[in-house]
Structure 1
Amino acid sequence: MRFAVVIPFYQRDSGILSRALTSVFQQELPAGASLQVFIVDDSSPTPAAAEVELLPEVQRARVTLMRQPNGGPGAARNTGLDAVAEGGFDYVAFLDSDDFWAKDHLAEALALLERGYDFYFCDHLRTEDDITYFNRTERLRILRELRSEGVTVIDADLPILAFDRRILTSAYVETYLSQTSTIVVRQGFVQDLRFDTRLRNAGEDHMFWISLVMAGARTVVSWKCNVFCGQGVNIYFDAFDWTSTKVVDRIGYMLMFFQMVGRSFDLAPEDRATLGGMIRRYRRAYSYLFLRALLQRKKPSFALMWKLAAGDPALLPAMPWRFLSVLPNREAESKTW
């Protein structure tokens, strides 16, 4: 059984990649299983090669290092997937360079995938938090207790549950369920599927996971926390500074993501209704934040604005009205962005 581990790399501080790689090479794999690591240096200010060279020779032999012009995390993962496609691997695991795994992460994923599932993810904890993502996310708390048609109970205590496409599609349209470093997927499902690089700052991984589910990937979810997320460079989380124009771009890319979901997939009527609500929310958010930035004499991305307007011609004419409608309740509304 062969694992490929894909790590996109763009960091300013040294030592971050070394921690991630330590967790990879400490994986307690079953007999006969092996792994190869594919690191894609996305023109990082701190080059990945410096930390790879510190590895023992036996570990360096299991690392394929590539470097490319900066294209963002989706483009870097795509380069890794292109390399993996030629290698005859059974499973692909994703790991962001500032994250790390528990020692049994891959073994536990493998045990479930070998039962006939294609797509696995588990809970995770950000190192600055005191509660895991699954425990603080309402939709995942609901899924944990769900016992209906379309749910298979594998372990009732943890729990470990498998969900059909209908349930997962509804959940993914509403909520970001699976952090990238928790994902292990059967390689055949990503032989040709790639991250959409148009969603550079947000949504590219969310789109990828929905695509997997819609393609028929049988999905199993563990509520065990086997992944820990650090505090390196993160395009998405770096864009939560409300004083920065980066937050305008993040919201713009989220709007683009939801619009792309609507154009790309045949959704059930109730899911399309949910999606419509998300699009309306992010139209309001983007309009408010874009015009606020201009009033503060800051310069948000006009290139992104024109891309959004091209697919949503009513966006620009309605911006002033949406700005004024958000203004009185901006603090309450911003909590949903």
Structure 2
Amino acid sequence: MFSVVIPLFNKAIYIEKAVESVIQQTYADFELIIINDGSTDDSWLRVTKIRDSRITFIDQPNVGVSDSRNRGVKQARFEYIAFLDADDWWESTFLEQMSRLIQDYGEANLFGSNYYYVKHGKARVEPKGLPDTFRSGYINYIDLYVSEFCVLINCSFVVVRKQAFVQMGGFKSNLRFGEDIDLWIRLALTSKVAYLNKPLAYSNQDVDGESRAVGRQTLYSPEANFIFNLAYLKSAEEESAALKRLLDGLRVRVLLPYYLANQYVSEVRSVLAEVDFSQQPVYYRRAYALPALLVRPYFEFMKVGSFCKRTLIRLSRTSYPSVV
């Protein structure tokens, strides 16, 4: 029933854990497609040693995460596509419970679950704006995302109906940052979204910045970052106040590193000109109002602190907590 797609690029120390979390699923009716996107470490050597008849291995030159996932979907034999990043992992019942969600809410094309946010070796569940009594059901993806600006769905705790994925054109090949958010918004604007409010996956934030498929330490060119490529949503944004708030909120958050680094200045100014800053948090209003030279030291200090914490965790070899 499920085709699981894992794109792989230089994730040697993580990939085996990710694959094992798929193989150990209580729901066994799946295939696993692993696309090696030109890894230069020993990721491919490690993963191809794993023996399971349900795994298909694809080796290719580096083309980026969007095309890698699209190729996996093209190869997929089943109706529902479950994505998993190579540095994240699932609870053993992820596919089983997503199967029930699909059965219960079959009008949706996009299905997600809650997840554990793993940071500094600790796993926690962040508020998503859902009522305390919400267990599962259809959600308004746009409204909920705006309410907390906490990620509801990403490529490690999501299932997509293959037909809808193909109709949407999949992930945009040019995008290397935010390609998933771009697709979820497109799907949410055209079909229903179902959500299970139970953490079933682990989103690993302790990955070194250099190893991330999508990382805030890399300032991708405007052609490769979704936030510079939202013109196609202009009319929808004008009709929906919630979508406007969501896109503006994403703009100020994603563009701040560009602003501080004084990179792609004209493109950043053009996008920021669209933002209604009166609706943004004071934090971002002040950050953009002050000269970058005054704001930059604060963020440099924060980055140093984060690096030190990751280093201490690595040295102490703290294991990630598991949930029974």
TM-score between the two structures when normalised by the length of structure 2 = 0.71
Deviation at 1:98, TM superposition (A): 1.6
Determine the C-alpha separation between the residues in 1 that align with 2:11 and 2:22: 21
Deviation at 1:191, TM superposition (A): 3.0
Q: How large is the Cα RMSD of the aligned pairs?
A: 3.6
Equivalent residue, structure 1, for 2:83: 94
Deviation at 1:45, TM superposition (A): 1.0
User: What letter matches 2:234 in structure 1?
Assistant: R
Q: How many residues align?
A: 278
Equivalent residue, structure 1, for 2:212: 234
Q: SS of the residue aligned with 1:288?
A: helix
Cα distance, 1:217–1:327 mapped onto 2, change above 3 Å: same
Equivalent residue, structure 2, for 1:163: 138
Determine the C-alpha separation between the residues in 2 that align with 1:260 and 1:172: 20
- Contact 2:7–2:36 under 8 Å retained in 1: yes
User: What letter matches 2:189 in structure 1?
Assistant: M
User: What letter matches 2:41 in structure 1?
Assistant: T
User: What letter matches 2:258 in structure 1?
Assistant: Y
Determine the C-alpha separation between the residues in 1 that align with 2:95 and 2:145: 24
**Any unmatched runs of 5+ in structure 1?**
146-155, 241-245, 292-304, 316-321
Question: Deviations 1:179-235 (Å, cap 9, x if unpaired)?
Answer: 3111122333223331123221x2111111112211203322323243353637213
Q: Map 1:132-171 to 2 at 5 A.
A: 132=124, 134-135=125-126, 137=127, 140=128, 142-145=129-132, 156=133, 159-164=134-139, 167-171=140-144
Question: Deviations 1:22-41 (Å, cap 9, x if unpaired)?
Answer: 11111001xxx511111111
- The alignment-based identity, stated in percent, is 22
Q: Map 1:6-25 to 2 at 5 A.
A: 6-11=5-10, 13=12, 15-25=13-23
Equivalent residue, structure 1, for 2:102: 113
Q: SS of the residue aligned with 1:143?
A: coil
Determine the C-alpha separation between the residues in 2 that align with 1:313 and 1:280: 7
Q: SS of the residue aligned with 2:69?
A: helix
Q: Map 1:173-322 to 2 at 5 A.
A: 174-193=149-168, 194-200=170-176, 202-227=177-202, 229=204, 231=207, 233-237=211-215, 239-240=216-217, 246-247=218-219, 253=225, 255-256=227-228, 259-260=230-231, 262-263=233-234, 265-266=236-237, 267-276=239-248, 278-279=250-251, 285-290=257-262, 305=264, 308=267
**Any unmatched runs of 5+ in structure 2?**
275-287, 303-324
Question: Deviations 1:222-259 (Å, cap 9, x if unpaired)?
Answer: 2324335363721333x34xxxxx25769x936325x3
Is 1:37 the counterpart of 2:32? The answer is yes
- Contact 1:172–1:210 under 8 Å retained in 2: no
Cα distance, 1:111–1:283 mapped onto 2, change above 3 Å: closer
Q: SS of the residue aligned with 1:181?
A: coil
Determine the C-alpha separation between the residues in 1 that align with 2:166 and 2:188: 15
Q: SS of the residue aligned with 1:218?
A: strand
Determine the C-alpha separation between the residues in 2 that align with 1:330 and 1:287: 9
Deviation at 1:168, TM superposition (A): 1.4
Determine the C-alpha separation between the residues in 1 that align with 2:47 and 2:179: 27
Cα distance, 1:110–1:45 mapped onto 2, change above 3 Å: same
Equivalent residue, structure 1, for 2:74: 82
Q: SS of the residue aligned with 2:137?
A: strand
Question: Deviations 1:64-87 (Å, cap 9, x if unpaired)?
Answer: 211222122122111111212xx2
